[in-house]
C-alpha cells in the first residue's frame, strides 16, 4: 500500500507541471512610466505587455485608446519581443508603448480594451485566447502646462509641452563678421528646428516670429517628425518641428531680425519658460544694377496733369525707339556685335558651371576629410549656386530620405547639443547622397531670388 501511494505521488509530481502549463492562459500587464500625479501637458509612457504561454502564432493587434480630456497616441515604433518565466511557466511577450498627455487636471481611467490573439498550445496546435486591459488610473495634478501669453479672458489657452526644448537655426546665406550681407530684393531663408525630448512633435507650439518693418515675411508649413532614438542618436527619443521663414528685403539698410522663441513648461519651477535662437544682423546694399526697387504710388518728376507719367519713362521710351531705328538701319553692322555677345554669354555660362563643379568638389572633399563645418559651408554654397535654395529645402524637394537624413544629421552635428560636437562626423553618407543628385538641373540662384520665391504661405 505504501509503495502504491508513493508511485501515485510520483506520477502526480511528474504530471503537475504539464497540467499547469496546459491550464496556463494569456496575460496582460499595463505599466505607467511616471510618478503620479503627472503634470498637464506632460507626455507619459504607458507600456502594455501581452504574454502568451509557449509562443505567439501571430502578432496581436493593439487597440487605439481614447480618453476624454487627454491625448493618447501610439508612436510608430516596433513592438518589443521578450520571454519571461512566471510560476515555472515560460511566456512569450510582446510590448507596445502608448504616449499619454493630459489636457486638464483630474483622474483618467484607461479603457478596458480586449485584445484577441492566437498562440501555440502545449501540443503545438493553434489556440485562441484574449486578454482585457486591467483598470488603470492616471491622475493629472494642478499646475500643469497651460500657456497664458497673449490670451484674453475666457480664451482657449494653448497647451505647452513639459519638456526643455532645444532650438537651433540655419541660414541659406553665410555670415561674415557677425552679419549677413545682401542686396535689395534678395531673400534670406531662416530654418528654425525645435527638438522636444520624450515628447511628440505635435505638442510643440509654433514659434514666435516678430514682424519687422520694411521686411516681408513668409512662413512655410511646419515639418513634424517623431523618432525613438538610439545609440547613434545624440538627441535621444523625442519630436522635432522644423519651421522655415523667408525674409524679403526691399530696401537697403541695416536690419536686425529678432530672436525666435518657443514656449514650454518647466517641471522643476512649475512656471512657463521659453527657448530661443539669437537675433540676426543683416546688411542690405543697393539693388544689383545700381537702381533701387521702385516704391508704389506716383513717381517724382511726373508730367503735370498726366496722373504720374514720369519724365524718366518717356526718356527711356525715346531711347528704345531710337535704338530700334538704328538696329533696323544698320543690322549688318550690329550682327557681329550680337555674335560677340553670344560668345561672351556662353563663356559666362561655362564659368558658372565650372564654379558649381568647384563647390561640389569642395563639398565632397570636406565629407571625405570628416570636416562638418567646411562640409556645411560648401553644401550651402553649392546648393545656392545650383538650386537657389537652402540645403534642407533642397534635400526635402529631392524626395530622397537618405539625403534628407544626411543633411539633418549634419545640422544636428553643428547646431545640436554641445556633447554632439565631440563625436567624429562621418561624411560618407552625405557624399554618396549628394552624388546621386549632383546632375539635377536647377535655375540660377540670382534669377530665382529676383523673380520667384518658394511656394510659402504668407
pLDDT at 75 over 80: no
179 plus 249 within the same structural domain? yes
Tell whether 278 is covered by a domain.
yes
Higher-scoring residue by pLDDT: 386, 217: 217
Task: Supply the pLDDT for residue 299.
Answer: 37
**d(C-alpha 435, C-alpha 441), whole Å:** 13
Judge if 280 and 175 occupy the same domain: yes
74, burial (CB in 10 Å: exposed 0-12, middle 13-18, buried 19+): middle
Q: Domain check: are 89 and 203 in the same one?
A: no
Residue 6 banded pLDDT, cuts 50, 70, 90: low
Identify the pLDDT of residue 30: 92
Does 181 lie in the same domain as 137?
no
Pairing of strands 137-141, 106-109: antiparallel
Give the integer Cα–Cα distance in Å for 417 and 423: 11
What does the alpha-carbon distance between residue 377 and residue 425 come to, in Å, rounded to a whole number?
15
C-alpha–C-alpha distance, residues 138 and 143, integer Å: 16
Domain co-membership, 30 together with 66: yes
Residues 74 and 115 in one domain: yes
Structural domain contains residue 341: no
Residues 276 and 353 in one domain: no
Q: pLDDT value at position 34?
A: 84
Domain tally, the chain:
3
pTM recorded for the entire structure = 0.51
Segment 321-328 mean pLDDT = 76
Range picked from 95-104, 285-294, 409-418 for highest mean pLDDT: 95-104
Task: Decide if pLDDT at 292 tops 50.
Answer: no
- Domain of 131 in residue numbering reads as 17-141
Report how far residue 273's alpha carbon sits from residue 148's, in angstroms, rounded to the nearest whole number.
Answer: 11
Asked whether residue 424 falls in the same domain as residue 370, the answer is: yes
Residue 149 resides in a domain: no
What is the per-residue pLDDT across 121-163, written as a single tens digit (0 to 9) for each? 887 889 999 999 998 999 987 655 554 444 444 444 567 888 8
Residue with cell 509557449: 54
Residue 326, domain member (yes or no): no
From 260, 285, 310, the end of a domain falls on 285
Judgement on whether residues 133 and 182 belong to the same structural domain of the protein: no
Query: Which CATH number do you get for residue 223?
Result: 2.60.40.740
Provide the pLDDT for residue 125. Answer: 87
Q: Does residue 50 sit in the same domain as residue 90?
A: yes
Q: What is the pLDDT of residue 326?
A: 73
Confidence of residue 369 (pLDDT cuts 50, 70, 90): confident
- The answer to whether the bond into 187 is cis (omega within 30° of 0) is no
Average pLDDT, the chain: 79
In terms of Cα–Cα distance, which of 31, 81, 26 is closest to 51?
26
Higher pLDDT, 328 or 69: 69
Q: Is the pLDDT of residue 445 over 90?
A: no
Indicate if 244 and 353 belong to the same structural domain. Answer: no
State how far the alpha carbon of 242 is from the alpha carbons of 223, 225, 283, 408, in Å: 5, 9, 26, 10
* pLDDT for residue 298: 37
CA distances from 244 to 63, 282, 292, 327, 387 (A): 36, 17, 27, 48, 17
Last residue of a domain, one of 141, 157, 179: 141
Which residues, 6 or more positions from 94, have their beta carbon under 8 angstroms from its beta carbon?
49, 50, 56, 59, 60, 79, 80, 81, 82
Higher confidence at residue 359 or residue 353? 359
Grid cell 511528474 in the structure block, residue: 14
pLDDT at 222: 94
C-alpha cell at 87: 510560476
CA max distance for the chain? 137
298-311 pLDDT tens trace = 333 333 333 344 55
Q: Is residue 334 part of a domain?
A: no
In a domain, 136, yes or no: yes
pLDDT-derived band at 218 (thresholds 50, 70, 90) equals very high
Q: Which residue has the higher pLDDT, 260 or 441?
A: 260
Question: If residue 398 lies in a helix (H) or strand (E), which one and from where to where?
Answer: helix 391-398
Checking if the pLDDT of 51 tops 70, the result is: yes
Amino acid at each position: 500500500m505504501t509503495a502504491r501511494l508513493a508511485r501515485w505521488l510520483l506520477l502526480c509530481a511528474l504530471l503537475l507541471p504539464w497540467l499547469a502549463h496546459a491550464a496556463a492562459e494569456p496575460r496582460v500587464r499595463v505599466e505607467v512610466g511616471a510618478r503620479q500625479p503627472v503634470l498637464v501637458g506632460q507626455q507619459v509612457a504607458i507600456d502594455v505587455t501581452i504574454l502568451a504561454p509557449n509562443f505567439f502564432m501571430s502578432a496581436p493587434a493593439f487597440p487605439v485608446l481614447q480618453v476624454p480630456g487627454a491625448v493618447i497616441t501610439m508612436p510608430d515604433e516596433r513592438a518589443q519581443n521578450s520571454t519571461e518565466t512566471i510560476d515555472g511557466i515560460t511566456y512569450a511577450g510582446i510590448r507596445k508603448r502608448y504616449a499619454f498627455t493630459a489636457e486638464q487636471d483630474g483622474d483618467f481611467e484607461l479603457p478596458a480594451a480586449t485584445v484577441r490573439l492566437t498562440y501555440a498550445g502545449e501540443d503545438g496546435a493553434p489556440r485562441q485566447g484574449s486578454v482585457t486591459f486591467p483598470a488603470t488610473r492616471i491622475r493629472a495634478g494642478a499646475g500643469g502646462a497651460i500657456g497664458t501669453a497673449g490670451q484674453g479672458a475666457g480664451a482657449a489657452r494653448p497647451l505647452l509641452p513639459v519638456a526643455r526644448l532645444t532650438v537651433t537655426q540655419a541660414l541659406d546665406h553665410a555670415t561674415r563678421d557677425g552679419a549677413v550681407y545682401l542686396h535689395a530684393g534678395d531673400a534670406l531663408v531662416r530654418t528654425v528646428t525645435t527638438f522636444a525630448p520624450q515628447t511628440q512633435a505635435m505638442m510643440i507650439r509654433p514659434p514666435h516670429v516678430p514682424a519687422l518693418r520694411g521686411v516681408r515675411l513668409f512662413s512655410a508649413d511646419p515639418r513634424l517628425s517623431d523618432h525613438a532614438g538610439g545609440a547613434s542618436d545624440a538627441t535621444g527619443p523625442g519630436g522635432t518641428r522644423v519651421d522655415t521663414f523667408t525674409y524679403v528685403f526691399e530696401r537697403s539698410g541695416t536690419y536686425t531680425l529678432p530672436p525666435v522663441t518657443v514656449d514650454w513648461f518647466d517641471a522643476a519651477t512649475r512656471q512657463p519658460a521659453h527657448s530661443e535662437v539669437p537675433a540676426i544682423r543683416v546688411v542690405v546694399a543697393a539693388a544689383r544694377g545700381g537702381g533701387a526697387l521702385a516704391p508704389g504710388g506716383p513717381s517724382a518728376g511726373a508730367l503735370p496733369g498726366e496722373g504720374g507719367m514720369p519724365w524718366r519713362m518717356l526718356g527711356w521710351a525715346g531711347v528704345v525707339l531710337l535704338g530700334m531705328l538704328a538696329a533696323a538701319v544698320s543690322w549688318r553692322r550690329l550682327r557681329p556685335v550680337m555674335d560677340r555677345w553670344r560668345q561672351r554669354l556662353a563663356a559666362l555660362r561655362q564659368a558658372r558651371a565650372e564654379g558649381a563643379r568647384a563647390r561640389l568638389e569642395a563639398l565632397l572633399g570636406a565629407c571625405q576629410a570628416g570636416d562638418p563645418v567646411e562640409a556645411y559651408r560648401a553644401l550651402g554654397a553649392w546648393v545656392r549656386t545650383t538650386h537657389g535654395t537652402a540645403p534642407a529645402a533642397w534635400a526635402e524637394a529631392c524626395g530622397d530620405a537618405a539625403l534628407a537624413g544626411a543633411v539633418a544629421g549634419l545640422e544636428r552635428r553643428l547646431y545640436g547639443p554641445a556633447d554632439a560636437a565631440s563625436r567624429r562626423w562621418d561624411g560618407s553618407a552625405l557624399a554618396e547622397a549628394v552624388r546621386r543628385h549632383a546632375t539635377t538641373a536647377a535655375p540660377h540662384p540670382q534669377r530665382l531670388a529676383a523673380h520667384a520665391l518658394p511656394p510659402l504661405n504668407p
